[in-house]
Structure 1
């Protein structure tokens, strides 16, 4: 059986986490299918990050991406040895209260219906979902009718879509769990006289629908207390993995510098130099893929955020049995300081738990992929 998968890969190109999970998903798909990615309008650095071959780029063929998909699906109706797959949307986070976005869900559902009638197997995989406004919920329910393989990446999202009536939904682990870095420097030379390092990598809010001022105040207050409590034992460094975090990172650096020694990594960390994380014992962050990518290099991630509102991270860490690494800015600072001290003491124990989760999820992901392309 010949499999051809059309991959609609538009995303936040400067978000290294999105680069990471899209690259991981493509690496899986390539094992089972020929892949064609919608490269029209994509920046070159992003297509390079995905390691796309010439024949994997939609720009190598006549017509736009959707026309290529429709014509190939129509042809495959008469070819019993060919299956056409369509990745409905890239992995990541889906949440909106926008009425207009909900209308767009219905429009895309019309395309899904047409593809469904042509026998295309539609996939939606590796994403968190919610909250959604009323129109968006209705639109998502409609287009899910035509999605053959619907996989969310955490149990909170699973319960959310099941209550919406999307009964075929199942779990697929976040794609960062099974990502394997390419070659990188081993055992970076760190002067023995220096204290171990803790990195700070933060966005300025949970998501766009919530005001950030109150969130930032509680976050910065707690981080300040962390630095105060541990500045004698650890060095601190502010870094950022997403370009849009640069402004808040500089603010955080300036704030901490006013009362404690701290350095600032002015260049964005990308996949090519993510090995920078191995120079740190710990990273405090409110970004999921900072946490999971840093762990690949032996840097223990600790989430510091409003856990009640940061549902995506909460669900993924709880599912992996890593809830002790979630520190809530809405809890008493003294409780969080005590918990952080315990995490630092048991760092190797938690790293071992992460490594076990990676192995378990990698096997589960492979099993699911085998199911998708055999059914």
Structure 2
């Protein structure tokens, strides 16, 4: 696997999960093919599932379309031999025409194709994807680690800022971030806090955190947590915050799971997955549109903060509802 060790460790349960290297000396593809060809064991019918990591899928250009179709051939062979390929809790779009066609073609290889918001569902249906289903973002069912004195913070009531500096990809784009930072500077004046903490859960966001600190450092006490946060430390940081402002979905969802108000400050066109998930769950009025006039943003922020308990309860209700729905859907996928 090309996934980093820390990622594998973070999502694994050592009591039930095993790495490929512990059960086979072959490559992933060879191991799966061998298992498929071996058929049923001990007279029991069995199925091989290949679960693709969730996230967001958006592609353009000839190279991407070619890569998609080549991957689709491999997945078709997997399906042909009886494998069941699953992707769930993710979102899609935009695609150019070529990639939209490629994605539509390969969607038929999936045993289950579960999209996490209704905007993605509408796009998939308009592009004739094969049987797209609604499946909530897996973050809804996440349970934070127990509080740990080793990672707990003693300070409280700071504001956490965590931003990406691009629409897509990994390259830092100061021109993209600068207008957002101007809105951040104005909005912070309406929040009763003395300290701003800059943090990131994705290494590519480090430059954005450094840039924001440089822009606001003369007006506020700032702290830069200058390393990629893993879950326990991120939770400890968000748990004691007055609020979290971000354009990263994983940051917003985790902060809410820690009972902290998490406000998206986003370009609506560039962050459709956040818009879709918040809107689907009755939380659309918490979103701050970075293209709006600052006076409107200040009013919106004040109203959101004033109704903090209401918004946190809305998230809790949505988390329970989505968790119950996921359990029901997973039972149908794996026990059918």
Q: Same fold (TM over 0.5)?
A: yes
Question: Hey, what does 1:238 align to over in structure 2?
Answer: 198
Question: Hey, what does 2:207 align to over in structure 1?
Answer: 247
Within 5 Å, give how 1:1-375 maps onto structure 2.
40-51=1-12, 53=14, 56-60=18-22, 61-76=24-39, 81-87=45-51, 89-185=52-148, 190=154, 196-208=157-169, 212-230=173-191, 232-273=192-233, 274-375=235-336
- Mark the CA change 1:213 to 1:248 in structure 2 (over 3 Å): closer, same or farther: closer
- Mark the CA change 1:322 to 1:256 in structure 2 (over 3 Å): closer, same or farther: same
Q: 2:148 & 2:27 partners in 1: Cα distance?
A: 41
Q: 1:92 & 1:329 partners in 2: Cα distance?
A: 23
Give deviations 1:148-199, integer Å, cap 9, x for gaps. 21101111111111111014101111111101123223896756xx7x2211
Stretch of structure 1 that moved more, 135-144 or 203-212: 203-212
Q: RMSD in angstroms over aligned alpha carbons?
A: 2.3
Figure out how many residues of one structure are paired with residues of the other and give that number.
Answer: 331
**Offset at 1:98?**
2.7
Give deviations 1:203-229, integer Å, cap 9, x for gaps. 112213999454312201100101233
Stretch of structure 1 that moved more, 314-323 or 120-129: 120-129
Look up the SS of the partner of 1:145 in the other structure: helix
Look up the SS of the partner of 1:67 in the other structure: helix
Give deviations 1:94-132, integer Å, cap 9, x for gaps. 111131111111111112221222122221111111111
Is this contact kept in 1: 2:36–2:82, CA < 8 A?
A: yes
**Offset at 1:147?**
1.1
Unaligned residue ranges in structure 2 (runs of 5+): none
- Mark the CA change 1:303 to 1:371 in structure 2 (over 3 Å): closer, same or farther: same
Is this contact kept in 2: 1:282–1:299, CA < 8 A?
A: yes
Look up the SS of the partner of 2:227 in the other structure: coil
Look up the SS of the partner of 2:48 in the other structure: strand
Q: 1:209 & 1:136 partners in 2: Cα distance?
A: 20
**Offset at 1:235?**
3.0
Q: 2:8 & 2:172 partners in 1: Cα distance?
A: 34
Give deviations 1:12-63, integer Å, cap 9, x for gaps. xxxxxxxxxxxxxxxxxxxxxxxxxxxx344332222122549621122021
- Larger relative CO (CA 8 A, sep 6+): 1 or 2? 1
- Mark the CA change 1:210 to 1:165 in structure 2 (over 3 Å): closer, same or farther: farther
Q: 1:335 & 1:49 partners in 2: Cα distance?
A: 40
**Offset at 1:243?**
1.3
TM (normalized to structure 2)?
0.91
Is this contact kept in 2: 1:77–1:119, CA < 8 A?
A: no
Q: 1:104 & 1:189 partners in 2: Cα distance?
A: 45
TM (normalized to structure 1)?
0.82
- Mark the CA change 1:100 to 1:227 in structure 2 (over 3 Å): closer, same or farther: same
Q: 1:352 & 1:234 partners in 2: Cα distance?
A: 27
Q: 1:329 & 1:44 partners in 2: Cα distance?
A: 36
